[in-house]
Every structure is written in structure tokens, then in C-alpha cells.
Chains A and B, each alone.
Chain A
Amino acid sequence: MNRQPRIGLLADGKRLHLQDGPIDLIIEAHGSGMSLHAAYRAAASRFTGLLDELCAELPLLRQAADPRACALKGGVARRMHAAVAPFAADQFITPMAAVAGSVAEEILGAMMDEARLDRAYVNNGGDIALHLSDGEQFTVGLLDRPDRFGVMRTMIVEASDPTRGIATSGRHGRSFSLGIADAVTVLARTAAQADAAATIIANAVDLPGHPAIVRLPAESLQPDSDLGARMVTREVGPLQEFEIAAALDGGAAAARALLAGGLIDAAALQLQGEMRIVAPRGFSPNIAGPVRGQSIGNAIHA
């Protein structure tokens, strides 16, 4: 089979687009022209063949992670395992929960090995690895429902923050969720850690047994899903305000435990228009919103 990843710049001439199978990356780096060139070339080079590498170990990646030992060989696969291992003792989780973040991190790492950059990000469908040199910052947009138009909020991540990874998980994404959150966005030290933690927290936003929630076995939807027969959320009907609060409380409790354990820096949980933030006091990535508030205000009065 003659399969080549898609490699090219987007129309703005600044951002690199890499796509292969289900992996879809948007990359942007800031730095000197020479280093940009070197960084993008390194990204494309590392990307080529990466999916095949992962797929070679796919059966093992789809099994529940062993919290103590890692039998995986590839660098990305081992990073996936390491990211989910802290959760594996207490619950079912497979390394696949961290695949997007781990790939983003791998590519960013390859770029940083070849070039000095002021700042850079690798965005893998919403799971993002960041590089920030001193004094730099990134503005990140958030929203609650990828399947609908949703208003965006912003977070600013500064170089002095510990955060270098951002990930979003929820029931509208490409992967299945055991919970009902519309979106859980997590800031963590690495993209792989953020990815795994977002999955865990999104699963914890739940109302078990609630009649408005439709769940189906994952394998009935995707025969080879790593979640097997586990019931994944397909639909969530309208919930009462106290129910939304209860579900978010559950997720926030899980997030606070991860925060206390140093596994995440902050989390934003969203369910049916309500948002809950879990972050340490004085943490600077202030979640403000909505983005370009003026425009949204304008729009309302438009």
C-alpha cells in the first residue's frame, strides 16, 4: 500500500498541517526563519512512519494498562503507558486514553531537538503540546460543544506556568466517554498527562442510572474499541440544574484529587452550559471569557 502522510502548510503560510489516518496535527512555531524551517522539517520527518509504529503495538495499546510494568517498546507507546499508569491501579484505562497527547508531545520533542524556538505548539485535534521560552505566552480558546457552535472562552498560558500540555475530553469528541461532560479541558505538565487526566475527569462527570442518559456498549458502535463492552454515553437529555451541579461536583472532586496529586495544573469542566473550574489559588492561567468578548457582545446586540 502506498500511503504517505499529508504534509503541507496551511493557507496562512505559517502553520504546518500533518495528517495520517486518524492523526491530524496543526503545528505553529515562532522563531527565526532558519529554525522554523528546521523545526517543521523535523516534525514532518518524525511524523512519517509514526502511525505504523503505533499500529504495530495496537493490540497491547488497546488493553488495560498494567500500573506496574510496561511491555510496550515504541517511544510514543511507552509515553502513553506512563501517562495512564497513575490511574490504572484504581480503574480501567488503556494507553489509548493518552494517544493524542503523546503524539503531540513526540512531534514537539522532535522539533525542539532540531531548533531553538521562541514558542511552538503541536495541536492534535485539541490535545496540545506547548513550548514557551521565557516571557512568552499562549492564548488558548475553549468551548463546550464541538458538534454545535459554542462560545469560546480563553486561557492564557505563560512561560512561568508549569503547564506544557492541554487536552480536552468529553462525549462529543472522536473518542467515547463513559461520562456525560460536554467538555473537560485539562492543563498539565505534558500533553500526554493532560490527555489521560481529561479522560479520567470527563468519565467522572456522570449521573449513573439517570433516565435521560443513553448509553451503549462501545463495541456495538466501534467493533474494535479499546473500551469493549463498557457502556459509553451517546445521548444526554435535558438535565435539571441540581443534576448538572451534582454531575459537575463528581468531576470536580476527581479533578481536585488529581490536582492534589500533582497530576494536573487546572481543569475546566463543562456540562449543558455550566462551567466549573478547578485550579490552585493564584494559578495564573486565568480562564476568562468569552474570547473577543466585544464581538460576542456586539453579536448579541447585532
Chain B
Amino acid sequence: MTTLPTEAAAPVVPATEPPAPRPQKKPRLVGTTAWYVTALFICAVMVVPLLWMITIGLKSRTAVFDIPPKLLPTEWTWSNFVNGPEAIHFPRLLLNSTIITALSVVGGVMTAMMAGYALARLRFPGRKVWFYLFVGSMLLPGVVGLIPLFQLYKSIGWYDTWLPLIVPAFLGGNPLFIFLARQYFLAIPYSIDEAAKIDGAGHFRIFTQVMLPLTRPAWITMSILAFQASWNDFLNPLVYLYSSEKWPLSVGMASFISAFAGQTPDWSYYMATNLLYMLPPLIVFFAAQRYFIQGLGALGSTNQK
């Protein structure tokens, strides 16, 4: 807590420095040094916890509780990366998470693109009304639906199945995606669909063969956001899933460290598995970094005008 305010104060100085034009050597050098020192500090805050997690994952289960704590393991217990996932039932949780996430990404992106296409490029009565209703529903906090939907799912036999986690995505579950899709469709020249129409293409063909290739950045961005949302979701599976063999990773991992009956969780097993849990989002992030930045940038710039 004590270190953070200095981090906030320090960057302000070099941040506004470029406007000072005088080419004096000394202040520039000081500014550059200050920048790199701050940069090093920021990187350390972000990375050290993760490195520490890996060292815990390599320690034996008793070495974790050595006092005073050692930063590096004395003996490297690589077997944690095999035994840990096994103790947590990682393979099954991973499979569950993969199925749930894949289906909700496909559903969420597909229905949002369809709705965005209609709202941006087709003329029909009620277009504006539906747009404002969808956008307005972004303001509705998710918790309002929790209790009524829980009862609804229970009454139609969906409790303790994956359906409550997947079906809403196929019904335009994320209004933000509809908004982003519409925004992107509006930017495409209308002469393109007119040309396609003259060539005799119907709406379905225009949508799948003309529009989807043109809007690739939009749906890749949405897929990433949807992937993150589903992979990270904790409250919904916690409420809707009862049997542990149906849990996704988020609930399964969290339950491993909530101590049952005074038993201390095995932290070295846990941290080794935690690393595996982090890997899929990490891979997606580094493979598609530009879309992460673009997607949120689009949110920023569309709201600015």
C-alpha cells in the first residue's frame, strides 16, 4: 500500500516532459533514468508475484512453510507438476472449461455479429428501439438476474447442467458485443452490399461471404473477450453447478484451497497447477495481443465521439 502512491506520482514528471524543448543534456539524462527506474519497478510489481508462484510450485510441500521463508527452493520438486494436477483433477476440469468456453464463445460472437449486422445495415421498423434496449441492458447488473434465473433453470431441469452457462451466449448474451459489432458494421461502405445485392446475393450470403471476412478484426476481438469472460467466470458456475465433476477450472481451483475441516491446502501442488490454469489465456494473449489492445481501444474511441 505504501509504495503505490509513489508509483503514481513519479510518472507524472517524465510524462509531461517532452513539451520542454530545450536540448540541455543533463535534465534529459535524469528524465530517462527516472523513466527506466520507474519502468523497472512497474515490471517487478507485475512479474515478481508470478515468478514467486513458480518457485512455490517447485518447492516440496513442507518447504513452503519454512520460517524464515526462502525465496528459492532448496530441492526442486518437479513432480509437483504431475502430482498437483492429479490431486486437483485438473484434466477433467480443463476439459469442462474447454467445452463450456468454446461453446459460449461461438454462440456469443455469432449472435452478436448477426444482431450487429441487422442493426447497422438493414432498414426495419424498430431498429433504433431495439438498439437502445440492447445498449441499455449493458447497465443492468448481472446479479439482478441471478435469483430469478436460478429458479427458472431449476424448474426446467437445467440446474447442475452446463446449459445455464452456454445457452445465454447463443441468445445474444453480451450486449457489449452487439454494440461493438454494430459500430464496426457502420464503418463499412454501403456500396459493398449494394454491389452484392445487384449480383443477386441474399442477406444470408452477404452476411457470411461479404461481411464476415471484412469484419475479421471485430469478431476476433470479441472472441478473445468472450473467451476471457467465460474462462474467468466464477459466480455463475458456482451458483448453477452442484456436482464437482461438472465444475469448470475456476470453481474447481478455488475449492481446492478453501480449507475443508481445518486441513491446510497443499500450496505447492496448487501453485504448480495454477501455472497450468494460466497458460491458455497467456498463449491467447501473446498470440493475439494486438486485438486485445484494439478491442478496448475501439471501446474508448467509439465512446469519445
The answer to whether A and B come from one shared complex is no
